Amino acid sequence: MDKIRKLEQRWKRYKTVKTVSFLLFISIFYLFTVGGYYTFLKWDSINTFFSKKVILKEKNISKENIIKDKIIEKEIIKKEESNKTAVTELYFNPIIPIIDMEKEKSTTSHRAIFRKEKSSSNRLKAKPSTYLTAQELSKIKVSNHKERDTTRLKRIHIGSSSKNYIETMKKKFFKSKKPRDALLLAKAFYREKKYKESNKWALEANKLNSNLDESWIIFAQSKAKMGKKNEAIKILAMYYRKSKSPEVRAVIEKIKMEKL
């Protein structure tokens, strides 16, 4: 009987241990699944939160860029209108010839003295006059005025031709959206020492094609001319790591030595 009781007690202990271990395993498994699901939900919510922030930032940046582009377009239109009015004023304003009144008085007085001497004595021969006649003076003055007028017209023509070139290139770029047209505009503005405009158009060319050496060079040179030397060197150094262009390297050295 004692043996049977002992066996029963052992059996009961074994049964309780087995049930307790089974319950512990189930509870641990439940805790792991619930905890994993909770952490997954939390991580997903964090990712969505940060992605929303990034999207909002990108939207704000795009809106700011659109507003800046509109402001730049308005400024360009205003400049074009002011340039057109200036050119029309230059063409339509009459050019008034300048006459030296003192020279005119001296020539007339000399002619009067010469006539008096000639009428007083017919025996004496008149000395050959070193002064010019009225016809000769008028011819010389007309030729001088013509030369002045031609030089003025040449200057006006050169200025107006460069403005016309820029206007035509802008129209061409807005139609084609080619990086080469933007690069030509950047070069034209750089020649005229309008470094903000050349910087802007070089950046436009870089946006369309980031592998053009010339656009990066003009972009950096414009920065250097505006007093941003360190920024220009950093930009060209970053591009040089990718391109290994000897021209870019030479421009970096020029900017460092201030030999632009």
Please say which residue of 159, 176, 193 terminates a domain: 176
Most confident of 83-87, 155-159, 223-227: 223-227
Residue range 79-105: mean pLDDT, rounded? 48
Cα 219–chain centre separation: 7
* 68 and 13 within one domain: yes
* 221 and 169 within one domain: no
pTM: 0.40
* 147 and 207 within one domain: no
* 67 and 145 within one domain: no
126 in a domain, yes or no? no
Residue range 76-104: mean pLDDT, rounded? 50
Q: In percent, how much of the chain has pLDDT > 70? A: 59
Q: Domain holding 235: CATH number?
A: 1.25.40.10
Most confident of 25-34, 55-64, 102-111, 174-183: 174-183
Residue keyed to tokens 């920024």: 231
CB atoms within 10 A of CB 232: 25
Please say which residue of 52, 76, 100 terminates a domain: 76
138 in a domain, yes or no? yes
Cα dihedral 215/216/221/227 (nearest 10): 130
* 181 and 146 within one domain: no
What does the alpha-carbon distance between residue 181 and residue 172 come to, in Å, rounded to a whole number?
Answer: 7
98 in a domain, yes or no? no
Q: What local confidence, expressed as pLDDT, does residue 36 receive?
A: 78
Condensed to tens digits (0 to 9), the pLDDT of residues 94-123 reads 333 344 445 544 555 555 555 655 554 444
94 in a domain, yes or no? no
97 in a domain, yes or no? no
- Domain range for 152 is 133-176
Q: What local confidence, expressed as pLDDT, does residue 58 receive?
A: 65
54 in a domain, yes or no? yes
- What total number of domains does the chain contain? 3
249 in a domain, yes or no? yes
pLDDT for residue 155 is more than 50: no
84 or 158: which leads in pLDDT:
84
